[in-house]
Amino acid sequence: MSPVDDCVEFLQRLIRTHSMPGEEGEIAALVAAEMERLGYDQVRTDEAGNVIGLVRGSGDAPSVMFNTHLDHVDAGDPADWPHDPFGGEVHDGMVWGRGAVDIKGPLAAQVHGVAALIESGDRPAGDVYVTGVVQEEVGGLGARYMAETLRPDLTLVGEPSRNEVRRGHRGRVELVVHVRGRMAHASMTRIGRNPLTVVGRLLSALDDIDRPDHPELGRATIAPTLIRTDQTSANVIPGEVYLTLDCRTVPSQSAESLRDDLLPLLQAGEIEGTSGEILIPRHERVSYAGYEMTYPADNPAHAIASDHPALTTAVETLTPALGHEPPVDVWQFATDGGHFAEAGMVVVGFGPGDDRLAHTVNEHIPISELEIGLRGNEALAREWPARYAALRA
């Protein structure tokens, strides 16, 4: 079997293995078994349930981690898909299914790309790790754990980038505005204190808030997404309202700084007898391996400078492997790279797959694109760390 066919077959098995967040046990075992079959020097799962494969370097070049995740988002109604979301079917040279792009295609291209180096009989100059972490889609339990326990010199995040290079993304913070008023019969508006009025004022004031503009990542945004009250009856003025804000952040912002910016706007809209607060939700998660973690709804932004040696040497390494110089851009969405960068790690992005198909019912990846991703990952495993070290010396 050709290396590409072998990779496609692995991708099909990955797609056929359901792996919603918290249910990655089976796929973790599958990835670990594949790494062992391909000749990785060491394969293990950590306490959180992340899979870690290691190919030992022959010299003292910097270590590099190739990273993707094991989980995927819900497929929705299979009837809405042109092909079975968990079939891993191949049609017209494309592999179809949930995760084909986000993230099982890029995962297969990393596991097999690094294996191509082993297969060639060469050794990387420094240690090469390939990791698949749990629960990326729900706030990054696996990456948060890994950022504390594994410290490679370079990190390559394989989220789909159409085989271009990515150097960061905006972060994502969730805030919940909570306003308490006074419940009353809806016919007696003078007795009630309607918290929806206060929320309405805040919503119209959001347009005027200063949204920092980052030269590379673009403008920070705030989108109201969910609203609920303590009422199910249509003829009652509610006593409480909860409004969720999805905030896309730039590196200068945090959940706390956003809360401090928004609180005066909320307070300015209050009416006599109401009180408002802004909460930063905390998620309590347990991994399939039984590891528990509680963390805020805060996934940091990150951006590596355009002249950073890790970025320029990644582009240099990829250019001959891809046959052209890959464009460098930023991702629209947040990734686990934010957790790694926040922990001080050097993060660059590269992966096959069209990110615009992620989380859709049309998720599929051309085998030709997977093949380019394989070549790119092999070249990065082979040359990137040494080039990086040489430029820094």
Residues lying near Zn ion in the complex (CB under 5 A): 102-103, 159
Smallest distance from Zn ion to CB 30, Å: 18
How far is it, in rounded angstroms, from Cα 266 to Cα 249?
20
> C-beta of 69: minimal distance to Zn ion in Å?
6
**Which residue number, 161 or 317, has a Cβ lying nearer to Zn ion?**
161
State in angstroms the smallest separation of the CB of 383 from Zn ion: 26
Residue whose C-alpha is closest to residue 107's, from 201, 195, 24, 194: 24
- Check if the beta carbon of residue 89 is closer than 8 Å to that of residue 334: no
Which residue, 99 or 238, is less far from Zn ion as judged by CB? 99
Smallest distance from Zn ion to CB 136, Å: 6
Instruction: Name which of 138 and 279 has its Cβ closer to Zn ion.
Output: 138
- 6 vs 159, beta carbon nearer Zn ion: 159
Between 342 and 383, name the residue whose CB sits nearer to Zn ion: 342
Report the residue number, 135 or 229, with the smaller CB distance to Zn ion: 135
Cα(355)–Cα(331) distance, integer angstroms: 9
Comparison of 153 and 174: residue with beta carbon closer to Zn ion: 174
| Residue showing tokens 């909860």 | 242
- Nearest partner of 44 among 146, 159, 122, 157, judged by Cα: 146
CB atoms within 10 A of CB 356: 12
Residues with Cβ within 8 Å of 288's Cβ and at least 6 positions away in sequence, in order, are 22, 23, 24, 25, 28, 49, 134
Q: How far is the CB of 109 from Zn ion (least distance, A)?
A: 13
Distance CA 113, CA 120 (A): 11
* Separation of alpha carbons 284 and 379, rounded Å: 39
Ramachandran region of residue 323, left (φ > 0), alpha (ψ -120 to 50) or beta?
left
User: To the nearest whole angstrom, how small is the minimum distance from the Cβ of residue 20 to Zn ion?
Assistant: 13
Mode of pairing for the β-strands spanning 328-331 and 213-214: unpaired
